């Protein structure tokens, strides 16, 4: 106890997150959440190449990569963390609570990610690498948390890596199959699609392939790459699920671009965009959406939905987002004077019935 | 954004010695994760001057506890750790958020062979429940299922009432657990929480700042405490789940108002239940009433579907602006169980892996019913009986 005779040097008070978390209980919603990017893609498409590229890149960000065997019953997952610029990779185990899901609103995966964030004194981003056959839908549903939970993690975007050389084969091989190809799901749910290995095909083939990808999902941004060398701003901090971050959706209002696609593969997975110039009634549009998303009344399977809505008696532009059954409509900002107020809804899904959707939206007029 | 809030946060910390705004903190307290309030100092000089008295907080936090409970520990009572999967003789280290700490728990209670048991009773792991379609599909119960639910829920109510009758200062929560355990078995039921994901006891007892999932232990209830008892009974293959928060002796006015408001939150939420109502509306109702009284709604725990499974779809948050999926339909059974806090809504979990406590150590209350949606509205399956003890002053009028 001799060293207790003299006080040590006191240190600067700082809101170090992992430390403050335990002690300060202020109510303010100042939690800076760490973005989670989900990376999907067929085996061999280049997911690992992308992950290694990000981990070793000179971006100064501290990034954790979680190799997710989601759906396979194991209690722990491996996390690789780069300790800063050019630093060594550190491996950690993330414990997935074999947990009582009972009456908790957060899935054990979310709890595990939160614990990872708390353990690290600083973490800038989390990459969740899924297995090749993963359907991103359950992951997206689990990670798209209510803002009210003020979680330390936040779904940032879904990135799908496709193999430019093999994608067409992968899309076509199931054309006649009744089972649903993961390749379509992975493209349909993506916010960003990395068309990897474009050096192995011609310029024309690349253009054609991009068209095919957009025929499934015309909202996603497609990036061509060789060995997954991409600008990281396309993958990190996209805020694709953030309704307050509407710049992406506002591009919907640039009316000229047609987002509706025709189904090139007879699988019925495509993008459909419908619009309605008259303001609509909020209650009616909720009921209509719930019939489609919850009751499956029209027998359509909507994977993703994004929209800008012009609501009756409101000067606020409203934003709609949906992932499978989960949806929210929130006011985003005031319409400006110059803007022509309109409703524009983009559906990505299976067996979308354009006429029924158009009629349904029209019926949402007051 | 972060910078701003950091600044305002730090500005509230005052020097533990002279109460000037503090800019420095004791590094040893940081290592020990001790509260910042007692560890903040304006200058190195003030820190130095305070050192001889300040350093005692480090020793206190390291002191091996258990003195007061050493008798119990020698009799086989131990502290629960690892979510119920392990025990220890030493009080786990934790920056307890309020006056309460973990106490040792008794050994496992016996369930007679003739009682029909759910699949977690033996090895602690539910197998049917997590893999069931009913985690996604909202089940409409058959008339036969509904009849069984009524029976089970009535038993659960009788069991909770038995617990309510023994609550008074000096009684341990372990004793409440014994009453619940025996009353359940006497009626041919299995206490659903027992060994559910290794939960070590037959009910949850949540005292004062414990929000929910408190493990019954050796602590004696004290005059002025509030205690929630959460009972679930498994009988004839289905579950009935309810809880109430009781007063121990004479409680202060603030606790009385907290418990009363929580009771009203549940009442108001039940009042809107009928076919066609969105599950997400429940959170709006609960939040509105709690906020009006200056109280906050716990967000990490929610109501749930119930029936042949203890917990299943739907998920019913009690906070506002949630994205809960689905509308109510006749024949569905689920719980509503708002947890309302006197201070912050934020929760933390004790080292036992179960007890959720308020992050600021202020009190929390909860009420719960199992409900059936009917063609015209709702049937409260766990409703109070004429024989239920009239423990709430607002019901006497």
Whether A10 is covered by a domain: the verdict is no
Interface contact A27-B24, CB threshold 8 A = no
**Does A340 reach chain B within 8 Å, measured CB to CB?**
no
- What was the pLDDT predicted at B5? 38
Whether A4 is covered by a domain: the verdict is no
User: Cα dist. A213→A176, A266, A352, B170, B350 in Å?
Assistant: 19, 14, 17, 70, 49
On whether both B52 and B143 belong to a single domain, the answer is no
- What was the pLDDT predicted at A94? 64
- What was the pLDDT predicted at A201? 95
On whether both B168 and B244 belong to a single domain, the answer is yes
Whether B197 is covered by a domain: the verdict is yes
Q: Among A4, A8, A9, A10, pick the best mutation site for testing chain B contact (most B Cβ within 10 A).
A: A10
| Beta-strand pair B226-235/B238-247 | antiparallel
Whether B213 is covered by a domain: the verdict is yes
- B26 to chain A: which residues are within 8 Å by CB? 7-8, 10
Q: State how many domains chain B has.
A: 2
Residue bearing tokens 């406590």: B357
> Whole-angstrom Cα distance, residue B129 to residue B127?
6
- What was the pLDDT predicted at A76? 52
Q: How confident is the model at residue B9 (pLDDT cuts 50, 70, 90)?
A: very low
Residue B378: pLDDT above 70? Answer: yes
Whether A153 is covered by a domain: the verdict is yes
On whether both A201 and A274 belong to a single domain, the answer is no
- What was the pLDDT predicted at B306? 97
Whether B85 is covered by a domain: the verdict is no
pLDDT, tens digit, for every residue of B303-356? 999 999 999 999 999 999 999 999 999 999 999 999 999 999 999 999 999 999
pLDDT, tens digit, for every residue of A89-140? 666 666 655 444 445 667 778 888 888 888 877 889 999 888 766 778 888 8
- A10 to chain B: which residues are within 8 Å by CB? 24-27, 41, 44, 47
Pick the more confident residue, B23 or A173. Answer: B23
Please compute, for residue A358, the number of CA atoms within 13 A of its CA located in the half-sphere on the CB side: 7
Last residue in a domain, options A187, A212, A234: A234
The tokens describing B327, both together, are 């509308």
Q: Distance between alpha carbon B319 and the CA centroid of its chain, in Å?
A: 16
Strand order in the sheet with B378-380: B312-316, B303-305, B333-336, B369-373, B378-380
| Element spanning B301, H or E | none
**Does A244 reach chain B within 8 Å, measured CB to CB?**
no
Measure A30 CA to nearest chain B CA, in Å.
6
Q: Which domain holds residue B49?
A: 24-32+42-61
**Does B267 reach chain A within 8 Å, measured CB to CB?**
no
Q: State how many domains chain A has.
A: 2
Q: Which of B8, B95, B327 sits opposite A22 (nearest CB)?
A: B95
Q: How confident is the model at residue B32 (pLDDT cuts 50, 70, 90)?
A: confident
Measure A105 CA to nearest chain B CA, in Å.
6
Map residue A67 onto helix, strand or coil: strand
On whether both A61 and A133 belong to a single domain, the answer is yes
Residue bearing tokens 């089970």: B152
What DSSP character marks residue A87?
A: P
Whether B67 is covered by a domain: the verdict is no
Phi-psi region of B79 (alpha: psi -120 to 50; beta: other; left: phi over 0): beta
Q: Which residues contact B151 (CB under 8 A, 6 or more apart)?
A: B235, B236
Q: Which residues contact B313 (CB under 8 A, 6 or more apart)?
A: B134, B135, B136, B137, B138, B139, B304, B305, B326
Interface contact B311-A101, CB threshold 8 A = yes
Beta strands, E only, chain A: 11-12, 34-41, 63-67, 76-82, 89-95, 125-129, 153-163, 192-196, 221-224, 269-276, 301-310, 316-323, 326-334, 343-350
On whether both B46 and B160 belong to a single domain, the answer is no
User: Which residues 346-365 on chain B approach chain A with CB closer than 8 angstroms?
Assistant: 346, 348, 359-360
- What was the pLDDT predicted at A266? 60
Whether A276 is covered by a domain: the verdict is yes
**Does A282 reach chain B within 8 Å, measured CB to CB?**
no
- What was the pLDDT predicted at A316? 93
Q: For the range A258-264, what are the long-range contacts, defined as Cβ-Cβ under 8 Å and sequence gap of 24 or more? A: A259/A218, A259/A219, A259/A346, A260/A218, A260/A354, A261/A214, A261/A215, A261/A216, A261/A218, A262/A215, A263/A215, A264/A212, A264/A215
Residue B64: pLDDT above 80? Answer: no
Sign of the CA dihedral running B30, B35, B41, B46: negative
Whether A11 is covered by a domain: the verdict is no
**Does B274 reach chain A within 8 Å, measured CB to CB?**
no
Q: Is B253 annotated as a binding residue?
A: no
On whether both A208 and A263 belong to a single domain, the answer is no
Altogether, the residues listed in chain B come to a count of: 397
Residue B201: pLDDT above 70? Answer: yes
Q: What is the mean pLDDT of residues B272-300?
A: 97
Q: Distance between alpha carbon A132 and the CA centroid of its chain, in Å?
A: 17
Q: How confident is the model at residue B51 (pLDDT cuts 50, 70, 90)?
A: confident
On whether both A202 and A56 belong to a single domain, the answer is yes
Q: Looking at residue A250, which CATH number applies to its domain?
A: 3.30.1220.10
Measure B345 CA to nearest chain A CA, in Å.
8
pLDDT, tens digit, for every residue of B147-198? 999 999 999 999 999 999 999 999 999 999 999 999 999 999 999 999 999 9
The tokens describing B216, both together, are 């019954």
Whether B261 is covered by a domain: the verdict is yes
Residue bearing tokens 């349909």: A188
On whether both A317 and A251 belong to a single domain, the answer is yes
| Element spanning B192, H or E | none
> Whole-angstrom Cα distance, residue A305 to residue A311?
17
Q: Looking at residue B335, which CATH number applies to its domain?
A: 3.90.230.10
- Predicted TM-score (pTM) of this structure: 0.82
On whether both A48 and A106 belong to a single domain, the answer is yes
On whether both B365 and B217 belong to a single domain, the answer is yes
On whether both A201 and A319 belong to a single domain, the answer is no
On whether both B317 and B210 belong to a single domain, the answer is yes
Contact A348, A302 (CB under 8 A): yes
On whether both A212 and A328 belong to a single domain, the answer is no
- A97 to chain B: which residues are within 8 Å by CB? 83
On whether both B158 and B55 belong to a single domain, the answer is no
> Whole-angstrom Cα distance, residue A145 to residue A155?
8
> Whole-angstrom Cα distance, residue A105 to residue B282?
15
- B323 to chain A: which residues are within 8 Å by CB? 144, 146, 326-328
On whether both A82 and A56 belong to a single domain, the answer is yes
The tokens describing B282, both together, are 């429940």
Whether A12 is covered by a domain: the verdict is no
Whether A18 is covered by a domain: the verdict is no
Q: Which domain holds residue A136?
A: 34-95+102-172+179-234
On whether both B51 and B145 belong to a single domain, the answer is no
On whether both A46 and A129 belong to a single domain, the answer is yes
**Does A2 reach chain B within 8 Å, measured CB to CB?**
no
Q: Which residues of chain A have pLDDT under 70?
A: 1-5, 14-31, 68-78, 83-105, 132-133, 173-181, 244-259, 261-267
Q: Looking at residue A71, which CATH number applies to its domain?
A: 3.40.50.300
DSSP letter string, B125-173: --SHHHH-GGGTS-PPPPHHHHHHHHHHHHHHHHHHHHHHHT-STT-BH
On whether both A216 and A301 belong to a single domain, the answer is no
Measure A115 CA to nearest chain B CA, in Å.
12
- Give rounded-to-5 percent helix, strand, coil for chain B: 35, 20, 45
Dihedral in degrees, nearest 10, Cα atoms B303, B309, B310, B312: -30
Q: Among B325, B342, B370, pick the best mutation site for testing chain A contact (most A Cβ within 10 A).
A: B325
Whether A21 is covered by a domain: the verdict is no
On whether both B186 and B273 belong to a single domain, the answer is yes
Provide the mean pLDDT of chain B.
92
> Whole-angstrom Cα distance, residue B223 to residue B205?
16
Q: Which residues contact B17 (CB under 8 A, 6 or more apart)?
A: B41, B42, B46, B47, B49, B50
pLDDT, tens digit, for every residue of B218-267? 999 999 999 999 999 999 999 999 999 999 999 999 999 999 999 999 99
Q: How confident is the model at residue B62 (pLDDT cuts 50, 70, 90)?
A: low
On whether both A202 and A254 belong to a single domain, the answer is no
Whether B305 is covered by a domain: the verdict is yes
> Whole-angstrom Cα distance, residue B325 to residue A327?
8
- B33 to chain A: which residues are within 8 Å by CB? 19, 22-23
On whether both B53 and B187 belong to a single domain, the answer is no
């Amino acid at each position: 106890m001799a060293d207790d005779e003299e006080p040590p040097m006191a240190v600067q008070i700082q809101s170090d997150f992992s430390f403050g978390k335990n002690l300060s209980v202020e109510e303010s919603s100042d939690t800076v959440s760490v973005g989670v990017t989900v990376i999907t893609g067929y085996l061999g498409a280049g997911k690992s190449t992308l992950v290694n590229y990000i981990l070793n890149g000179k971006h100064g960000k501290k990034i954790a990569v979680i190799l997710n065997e989601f759906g396979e019953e194991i209690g722990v997952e491996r996390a690789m963390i780069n300790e800063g610029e050019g630093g060594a990779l550190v491996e950690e185990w993330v414990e997935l609570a074999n947990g009582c899901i009972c009456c908790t609103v957060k899935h054990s995966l979310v709890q595990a990610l939160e614990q990872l964030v708390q353990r690290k004194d600083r973490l800038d981003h989390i990459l969740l690498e899924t297995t090749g056959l993963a359907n991103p839908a359950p992951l997206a549903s689990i990670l798209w948390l209510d803002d009210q939970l003020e979680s330390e993690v936040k779904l940032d975007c879904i990135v799908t890596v496709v193999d430019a050389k093999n994608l067409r084969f992968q899309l076509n091989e199931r054309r006649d199959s009744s089972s649903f190809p993961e390749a379509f799901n992975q493209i349909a749910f993506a916010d960003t699609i990395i068309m990897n290995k474009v050096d192995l095909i011609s310029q024309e083939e690349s253009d054609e392939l991009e068209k095919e990808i957009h025929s499934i999902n015309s909202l996603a941004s497609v990036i061509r790459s060789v060995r997954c060398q991409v600008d990281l701003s396309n993958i990190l901090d996209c805020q694709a699920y953030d309704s307050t971050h509407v710049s992406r959706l506002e591009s919907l209002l640039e009316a000229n671009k047609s987002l509706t696609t025709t189904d090139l593969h007879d699988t019925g997975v495509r993008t459909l965009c419908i619009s309605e110039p008259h303001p609509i009634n909020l209650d009616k549009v909720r009921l209509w959406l719930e019939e489609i998303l919850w009751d499956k009344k029209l027998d359509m399977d909507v994977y993703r939905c994004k929209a800008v809505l012009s609501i009756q008696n409101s000067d606020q532009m409203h934003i709609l987002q949906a992932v499978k059954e989960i949806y929210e409509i929130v006011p985003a900002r005031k319409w400006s004077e110059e803007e022509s107020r309109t409703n524009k809804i983009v559906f990505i899904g299976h067996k979308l019935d354009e006429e029924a959707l158009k009629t349904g939206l029209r019926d949402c007029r007051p | 954004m972060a910078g701003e809030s950091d600044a305002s946060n730090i500005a509230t910390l005052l020097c533990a010695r002279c109460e000037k705004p503090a800019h420095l903190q004791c590094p040893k307290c940081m290592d020990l994760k001790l509260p910042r309030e007692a560890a903040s100092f304006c200058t190195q000089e003030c820190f130095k001057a305070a050192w001889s008295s300040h350093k005692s907080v480090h020793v206190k936090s390291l002191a091996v506890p258990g003195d007061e409970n050493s008798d119990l520990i020698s009799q086989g009572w131990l502290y629960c750790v690892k979510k119920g999967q392990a025990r220890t003789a030493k009080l786990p280290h934790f920056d307890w958020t309020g006056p309460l700490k973990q106490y040792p728990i008794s050994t496992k209670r016996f369930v007679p062979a003739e009682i029909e048991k759910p699949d977690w009773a033996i090895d602690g792991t539910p197998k049917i429940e997590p893999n069931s379609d009913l985690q996604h599909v909202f089940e409409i119960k058959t008339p036969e299922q509904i009849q069984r639910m009524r029976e089970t829920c009535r038993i659960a109510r009788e069991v909770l009432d038995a617990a309510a009758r023994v609550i008074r200062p000096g009684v341990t929560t372990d004793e409440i657990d014994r009453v619940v355990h025996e009353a359940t078995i006497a009626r041919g039921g299995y206490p659903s929480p027992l060994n559910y994901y290794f939960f070590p006891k037959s009910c949850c007892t949540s005292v004062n700042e414990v929000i929910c999932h408190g493990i019954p232990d050796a602590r004696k209830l004290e005059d002025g405490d509030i205690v929630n008892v959460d009972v679930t009974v498994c009988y004839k293959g289905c579950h009935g789940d309810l809880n109430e928060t009781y007063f121990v002796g004479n409680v202060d006015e603030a606790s009385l108002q907290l418990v009363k408001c929580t009771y009203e939150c549940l009442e108001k939420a039940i009042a809107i239940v009928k076919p066609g109502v969105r599950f997400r509306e429940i959170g709006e109702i609960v939040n509105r009433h709690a906020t009006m009284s200056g109280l906050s709604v716990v967000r990490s725990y929610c109501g749930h579907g119930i029936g042949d499974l203890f917990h299943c779809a739907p998920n019913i948050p009690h906070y506002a602006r949630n994205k809960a999926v689905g509308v109510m339909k006749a024949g569905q059974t689920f719980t509503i169980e708002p947890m309302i806090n006197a201070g912050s809504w934020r929760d933390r979990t004790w080292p036992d892996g179960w007890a959720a406590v308020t992050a600021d150590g202020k009190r929390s209350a909860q009420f719960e019913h199992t409900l059936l949606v009917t063609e015209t509205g709702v049937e409260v399956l766990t409703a109070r009986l004429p024989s239920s003890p009239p423990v709430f002053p607002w019901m006497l009028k």
